Chains A and B, each alone.
Chain A
């Protein structure tokens, strides 16, 4: 099963129960406005938040748990991994704090403990330990209006399309996260345009890790090529110089 979350922004009442549940289950510290916070409410102390989208829509922000996550491909020490159930999880014992994942994430999700002398990365891990124990993410359990639900990704996709077909006027017709950047485990159906959740230009269908794979795959060949070319040039020039010397001796 591929674990997934479907958030229906038309059902969200903005009560923040998901945020509270997340803070409780992950033992996150109290809020306080800090210089380095972004204005979307996500921080090292809040792994999910409800932001106001276009047209006063309430949109719950959290890690999208991409099918092909940019952060996992970027992390040089493999501290971020995509687990078998679909959650993108973090191993703080491997992390060395380079923050490349934060730069790579197309949704700008990972946050850092800037106030700590020994800082770690913080983001939603889809309550991975609860998933392993057969449970579901705390936020989906806490939601009183069933605006955010947990399930198998395929089943939730079907549900999302069913909702859109059942009441076409209530939604914009798109399941956010179905195909963008190779798809995400956290899906949205909404009346409002949710492209504001991503940074920069509208997202294409190509997964972000593909952007570096060509350059990275070429590395061994390029390295061998350069070394061989240098050795060859050196050998040719040396031989020519030797010949010239012999020639001048004669």
Chain B
């Protein structure tokens, strides 16, 4: 296989995998196919959006160089630059369609206006500049179609205003992506948040635009075995380094002026990410591009451009989601599905890019289509409507196979995703609130028992009697959810948290603190809870903790109530107390049925009639 074929094969594989995930995204929604949450509503895809636009800056930077500053020696690479920008803007729109909750309403931005919103500006810049790119690029494919000659001539005449409009829109767009985050002073990390974020975005985008032109030229040169325009590109690299250095100076200077430089040395990942950005955006490319020999070498340019692209993309992903102050300790890590969709759009964009390069005249000479074999017979006989077969699997056949096989793998992987997002998120439990009647619905299925809590509390001895029925919470944890222990009402559950005891943030215990080193490390032969937690089980409690297990919920309720009532029934001659139907009588019989139905529907079990009537 040629280099291009091998590349295309991989791209089709990735695209196929993403196609399957894309279907799942629209069928199941965002909750299942992403790791986004109420705490981090934006994630990798927004970082991708910001990166795509930054990387596309090569288009307007190059058109400015050639058509405004009239540096004719760059003319031969301008078509490639515009094509790359065009494809990248399309991929921006593509990821937006996944990212928006209601993507079929993307046109709302045209109809409903809010001129105060930076996102509104971003949306309009994307729409208009994508249109400008279409018009700027149109003359290239139109060469192949004589019928379009008139239109082509018209667009070439209109090139100057188009280029100027494109530069204006790009400037606004690049900077407005920075403005987008100005509204989050309480969210974005102080190493990234600054009022001059729009300016930083613009400068880094222009510098990246120059590096991206270098990158895409070497990329295509490698895969199409062309001679890269190294000498021409060296001049771009020379210009880029000044921008890169000034970017770092402005950014660090701004940090110092705002008094946020103390975060630079703070331990933790924000400072590390920041320095990684500075190193890859500025230090590596600026050093490489300042040494004349490296600046004029393929390797030097390739490395400088790759480092710069990586650095700016990292910067955009940081601002887009990573460098946000979370709510508490919730950490966002992109789901594999998010990564696959992003990679799939990159793959699709690259395939479109390669297609246009092979099909139209981007350079003086069009590269040979690696999939077109001039000696091959037509595979399909249109007259006889028969398949003529093919000697070996190659070209489009193998791409189709890759796409379909990868899609099948994608569907298989999606199947194993939990589709309803039922998750282990601790639900807060508050102090016991008491009440007259509890609606106990252990199975959460709407069939429950009305439990006369106040009456029984009074009979057992008032407030002092709580411990007779209620066992303790998980130690030192005020917010453990019911279901953490009562995961299944028929099973015993673990009353101790092993992880917490061993954690450096928690118990800080060594293994031998609980486990005897000469014996197997099992719960049965370890120290019991009350070895350390002397007051864990209150005086007078009926429920005891044995072997770290609490008894099943059903057993707890039934054993505690029924055992006594059986005895009581013997003494007082009231056998009905110990019967199921005493409590489990007709459903909802004891309380106002419509009220109960409503509370049952909304899933709140507590009834407080005495308080509510006051």
Contacts and interface: CB of A to CB of B under 8 A. Distances in A.
Interface in A23-81: 23-24, 28-43, 50-52, 56, 58, 70, 73-79
B168 A96 contact: no
Nearest to B604: A20
Contacts of B483: 33
Majority SS at the chain B contact face: loop
A77 B183 contact: no
Contact of A30 (B99, B122, B427, B603): B603
Interface in A183-199: 198-199
Nearest to B600: A30
Nearest to A32: B422
A117 B26 contact: yes
Contacts of B67: 234
Given A24-B598, A24-B602, A36-B36, A231 B117 contact: no
Contact of A117 (B27, B183, B424): B27
B378 interface: no
Given A16-B604, A38-B37, A38-B38, A233 B115 contact: no
A111 B31 CA distance: 12
Contact of A114 (B42, B116, B185, B421): B421
A226 interface: yes
Interface in A177-211: 198-201, 203, 208-209, 211
Interface in B508-542: none
A206 to B, nearest CB: 9
A75 B171 contact: no
B100 interface: yes
Interface string B315-343: 00000000001011010000000000000
Instruction: Please indicate which of the listed interface residues B27, B31, B167, B608 has the most CB atoms of chain A within 10 Å of its own CB.
Output: B31
Nearest to B28: A117
A173 interface: no
A151 interface: no
B327 A108 contact: yes
A212 B116 contact: yes
B70 A238 contact: yes
B69 A70 contact: no
Interface string B171-183: 1100110011011
A248 interface: no
A104 B31 contact: no
B101 A211 contact: no
B101 A97 contact: yes
B303 to A, nearest CB: 32
A196 B302 CA distance: 49
A45 to B, nearest CB: 8
Nearest to A99: B41
Contacts of A208: 183, 185
A227 B608 contact: no
Nearest to B42: A103
A114 B31 CA distance: 4
A75 B479 contact: no
A215 B41 contact: no
B600 to A, nearest CB: 8
A114 B601 CA distance: 20
Nearest to B117: A76
Contacts, number: 269
Interface stretch (A128-136, A153-161, A162-170, A216-224): A216-224
A115 B101 CA distance: 11
A97 B70 contact: no
Interface residues on B, range: 35 or more
A215 B195 CA distance: 9
A52 B168 CA distance: 51
B42 A73 contact: no
A33 B31 contact: no
Contact of B113 (A13, A78, A100): A78
Contact of B430 (A58, A98, A112, A231): A58
B182 to A, nearest CB: 5
A230 B164 contact: yes
A137 interface: no
B37 A97 contact: no
Interface in B180-222: 180, 182-187, 195, 198
Contacts of A201: 185-186
A234 B101 contact: no
Interface in A101-134: 102-104, 106, 108, 111-120
Contact of B186 (A96, A115, A203): A203
Nearest to B196: A215
A212 B168 contact: no
B183 A38 contact: no
B238 interface: no
B325 A35 contact: no
Contacts of B612: 17, 144
A104 B164 contact: no
Contacts of A78: 112-114
Contact of B103 (A38, A97, A114, A223): A97
B120 interface: yes
A86 interface: no
Nearest to A30: B603
A226 B328 CA distance: 43
Nearest to B119: A76
B73 interface: no
A212 B427 CA distance: 36
B379 interface: no
Contacts of A144: 608, 611-612, 614
Contacts of B325: 199-200
Contact of B172 (A23, A28, A76, A222): A222
A94 interface: yes
Given A227-B165, A234-B67, A99 B42 contact: yes
B249 interface: no
Contact of A74 (B117, B186, B478): B117
B93 to A, nearest CB: 13
Interface string B23-52: 000111111100011110110000000000
Interface of B: 26-32, 36-39, 41-42, 64, 67-70, 99-103, 105-106, 108-109, 111-123, 160, 163-165, 167-169, 171-172, 175-176, 179-180, 182-187, 195, 198, 325, 327-328, 330, 420-428, 430-431, 433, 478-479, 481, 483, 598-599, 601-604, 606, 608, 611-612, 614
26 contacts: A28-B602, A33-B427, A35-B423, A38-B39, A38-B327, A39-B425, A41-B427, A50-B430, A52-B430, A73-B116, A77-B108, A96-B102, A96-B103, A103-B183, A106-B186, A112-B30, A114-B31, A114-B38, A115-B32, A119-B102, A144-B611, A200-B185, A212-B118, A216-B116, A223-B172, A226-B172
Given A34-B31, A144-B608, 13 more contacts: A15-B606, A16-B433, A17-B608, A20-B599, A33-B481, A36-B421, A58-B430, A74-B118, A98-B119, A102-B41, A119-B29, A119-B30, A216-B118
Question: What 4 A-B pairs have minimum CB-CB distances, sorted nearest first?
Answer: A97-B101, A114-B31, A35-B423, A200-B186
